[in-house]
Structure 1
Amino acid sequence: MKKTLITLGLAALLSTSAFAEKVQVGVVMKSLANEFWKTVEIGAKEYADKNKDVFEMEAIGLKDESDVDTQINTLESFITKQKDIIAVAPSNSVALIPSIKRALDAGIIVVNFDVRLDKKASQQMGLPDDFLFVGPNNEQGAYEVGDFLAKSLPKNAKVFIIEGNPGAENAIERKRGFMKVVEENQLNLLASRTAHWETEEANTVMTNLLTKYPDVQGVMCANDSMVLGVVKAIEAAGKSGQIKVVGFDNIAPVQDLMKKGKVLASEDFFGKDLAVNAIKTGLRIHSGEKLSGWVKTPVKLVTAEDLKK
């Protein structure tokens, strides 16, 4: 698959005559109940404000991570409004493909970001084999933070995996990274359960798992919202400090937990820049560049020790 590097500086691009009229940009986000996506929204709005002479942005988020219908309706609305660019982070890697195909057929630039569309379903529904994706290597990120946890545990340590939405490609990729950690480090995986990215569901799942497996030693969470629920369950069980937890997103509340010694690490993939990178990529295409394949965005392990520096 072709890989394209993001060009961070767009000053020259934004000054060209291609932007004589304001470009209309629609952004389809995920749950704004999630601290991470609040950060994504803030970053997008700040970037739009700084470039308000160049483009106008309409950004729509969800009430929860499973609200696929709102994403579909938002896409259809953006098509009707004849947006020039649509940046979409699908909550389900298959369900949005028909609407995305309609947008492309209408001549709209579509940038898939954060969660990659399902490749097989995309091909079956007529999308290009190298359809543009802007986002991180989720498997690599999950492996990195999971391996950090594994190296802090004894051999054959007992662990849980708390998964994201099973219909989302990033959840699949992150679980794959965690499973690689389990296999390479000979961890004893007691259970792997989904909490659909949600804090309260993760709290319920972890509470039930702790009842069945009270001797668990580590937990790998596919996002930080679920970390919050897991830590709450650990505290309620009177096991603070006895179970090591890692996550993915590096949101501020989890940074606070890291500073308190309640979370070991989180994988950062720079939420404030996530939608911004997708918008920048769309603007480059609108100006005449030909881009396809994977535009990689960074991931970075953040530990409690890092936050002390």
Structure 2
Amino acid sequence: MNRRLFLCSAASGLLALSGRSPAGQAPSIALILKSMKNEFFVLMAEGARRHHARRTADYTLTVDGVQEETDTRGQEVLIHKALTRRADVLIIVPADSTTMVPPLLKAMAAGVLVINMDNKLDDRTLAGAGVNIPFVGPSNFMGARSVAEYVARQLKPGSKAGLIEGAPGSINAKARSDGFREALRAADIAVAGMRWGYWDTLRGKQAALELIDAAPGLAALLCGNDNMAIGAAQAVQSRNLTGKILIGGYDNIPAIRPLLASRKVIATADQHPELQAAYAIDLALNAVRQRLLQPDMPSIVQTPVQLVTKA
């Protein structure tokens, strides 16, 4: 299908959106998340369900997720299931910022309103397709920068830090690393290296060990999520370097809080996954109520993010 034909088909599907649920019937919202092994997405799912529990008469909700952070194929299957169930709105945290765009375009062509949450879809890919998919989430750059600024204040200028980044193809991963880098550069802290941790504790530990070995005298490790920060803390402890290498994370999941209390991890960022879910659902309900089409939706709905430390 050529681009012009696709867009015409998508527009036709969007025009049919308001008639997808019969008049008087509550709209159906499908929420598709990333790894349900990650406490962050468990909290996001719980936030969505609490929102629905308060407004059961206003909409129906299904919550699905894959097991691995990068399982794009699994998310494609879940998108197909949402279309089969004739969902009115699809809210997704994409496993990849580029790869997931084509199946979402198919959902739009089928008349489903699509909202992107937490991990932003690639702007260039969306622009190339000529579509607007609103993003609901925080500034990952600003949240990560606040973590790195806090860590940098504990270090001497000229110290060395390592970065443990989430996964290739993730806008979140890049934005957080960019925030880390800006704060380190401003504090005259050198980036000694970067490794992929793929959002996972074990892989985060391995990444940390590689960075420690590659950069003797490393003073800090900044991690793109708390799972990797937990792995980094395990790596640091295994080398008897606890307290000598400072660790920053991101997400403020429950599992990180004992490490914050003990200062094995000194900072993280809370981007309130439950609020992200509530904001996205409210955006969806407002769009359905006002009969908005995909191009009429706001491009970005900002949600809060804040620095969290022991203090």
Residue 206 of structure 1, CA deviation:
1.1
Q: Which one has more relative contact order, counting CA pairs under 8 Å at least 6 apart?
A: 1
CA RMSD of aligned residues (A): 1.5
2:60 pairs, out of 56, 76, 83, with 56
Preserved CA contact (<8 Å) 2:275 2:303: no
1:303 to 301, 306, 309: 309
Distance 1:19 1:50, change over 3 A: farther
Shift of 1:19: 8.3
Partner of 2:299: 293
How much has 1:123 moved relative to structure 2?
Answer: 1.8
Count the aligned residue pairs: 286
Q: Which residue of 1 aligns with 2:286?
A: 284
Identity %: 28
| Aligned match of 1:44 | 48
Give the distance between the partners of 2:107 and 2:29, measured in 1 at CA.
Answer: 13
User: Residues of 2 paired with 1:115 and 1:77: CA distance?
Assistant: 21
User: Residue by residue, what CA displacement relative to the aligned partner does 1:62-101 show, whole Å, maximum 9, x if unpaired?
Assistant: 1111111111111122122210111011110011111111
Residue 32 of structure 1 corresponds to 36
1:83 aligns with 2:87: yes
- Residues of 2 paired with 1:256 and 1:40: CA distance? 21
Give me the whole-angstrom Cα distance separating, in 2, the residues matched to 1:210 and 1:177. Answer: 22
Aligned to 1:184: 186
Matches of 1:175 and 1:57, distance apart in 2: 34
Q: Distance in 2 between matches of 1:212 and 1:133?
A: 38
Give the secondary-structure state (helix, strand or coil) at the position aligned to 2:141: helix
Structural mapping, 1:140-289, within 5 Å: 140-288=142-290
User: Which deviates more, 278-287 or 211-220?
Assistant: 211-220
Give the conservation status (yes or no) of the 8 Å contact 1:160–1:191: yes
Deviation at 1:182, TM superposition (A): 2.2
Displaced runs of 4 or more, over 6 A? none
Paired residue secondary structure (1:226): helix
Is 1:68 the equivalent of 2:72? Answer: yes
1:199 is matched by which residue type in structure 2? T
Which whole-Å deviations, capped at 9, do the CAs of 1:228-247 have from their partners, x for residues lacking one? 11111111111112111111
**TM-score, length basis structure 1:** 0.89
Residue number in structure 2 paired with 1:101: 105
CA contact (8 A) 1:93 1:169 kept: yes
Q: Distance in 1 between the 2:213 and 2:97 partners?
A: 33
Whether the 8 Å contact between 1:101 and 1:126 is mirrored in structure 2 is no
CA distance in 2: counterparts of 1:232 and 1:188, whole angstroms: 23
What runs of 5+ residues in structure 1 fail to find an aligned partner? 1-17
- TM-score of the pair, normalised by structure 2: 0.88
Q: Which moved more, 1:164-173 or 1:18-27?
A: 18-27
Aligned-partner SS, 2:87: coil
- Runs of 5+ unmatched residues, structure 2: 1-21
Q: Which deviates more, 263-272 or 99-108?
A: 99-108
The letter for the 2-side match of 1:147 is E
Measured in 1, the distance between the counterparts of 2:238 and 2:273 equals 30
